[in-house]
Amino acid sequence: MAKKTVVIMPRTREILAQMGEQIHLARLRRKLTLELVAERAGISHATLVSIEKGASTVSIGAYAAALHALNNMDRDLLLVAKDAEALRRMQAMFAGREVMKEYEALLDGQPRQDAGYIDLPLAPDWDDRPRQMVDREHGKPAQTGFRVLTRGSGWARVRFEPLSGRTHQIRLHAAHSDGLGAPIRGDRLYGYPADRLYLHAARLVFRHPMTGRQVDLRLSVPF
């Protein structure tokens, strides 16, 4: 059977080009390398290069993963909404925490519970930047839901749903003794180095700001 050819409309190509440019600019603003963002997103270096060029051959899930991998992803997603009403509605969704994000990770160690919520306020560790620390007196609220998917000998695969968006939230909530007590594999700040950071942006769910239809973006986990 002949492979079906998908026709990409000019307006769609324009939107992808705008999104790719915003991802590129966001990465440069944060002074992040292609290699680091690709690793965080769980995609190849070549795929990220194609995304930044607005390539239509790359899945929308890969675009979403690249956005996930950047800090302040919410702000960068808003940049692709040029229509004023769409922008306003997207801002309201993020402010109201109506966008659901899921991450998957391999942990070095075994969480004590199979599922639950971590509630540990976080603040910058000014004496050891860029690390963050648990600060119950001055830290900002940070909550993360988790569920253990599988367990192995000295490791666990865990799905995380951050309910807030603090810097290094999932990484520190996983590693801290009052959290899961099991750092993410390859976390050089809160655990031990490996060939990569085994944290992957797996899912993004939100309602389209104009149509109201649910958008569910998923990207397969590469580990």
10-80 and 100-201 share one fold: no
pLDDT, residue 74, reads: 47
Torsion of CA 87, 93, 96, 100, to 10 degrees: -140
The set of long-range contacts for 116-120, using a CB threshold of 8 Å and a minimum separation of 24, is 116/145, 116/146, 117/143, 117/144, 117/145, 117/146, 117/163, 118/143, 118/144, 118/145, 118/146, 118/173, 118/179, 118/180, 119/143, 120/172, 120/173, 120/176, 120/178, 120/179
Q: Which residue has the higher pLDDT, 26 or 159?
A: 159
Task: Report pLDDT digits (tens) over 62-83.
Answer: 887 787 777 544 454 554 555 5
> CA-CA distance, 148 to 151, in Å (whole number)?
7
Which pLDDT band, with edges at 50, 70 and 90, does 151 fall under? very high
Is domain 10-80 classified as CATH 2.130.10.10? no
Q: Is the pTM of this model over 0.85?
A: no
pLDDT, residue 87, reads: 59
Q: Which amino acid is at 25?
A: L
For the chain, domain boundaries: 10-80, 100-201
Is 206 within 8 Å of 93 (Cβ atoms)? yes
CATH number given to 100-201: 3.30.2350.10
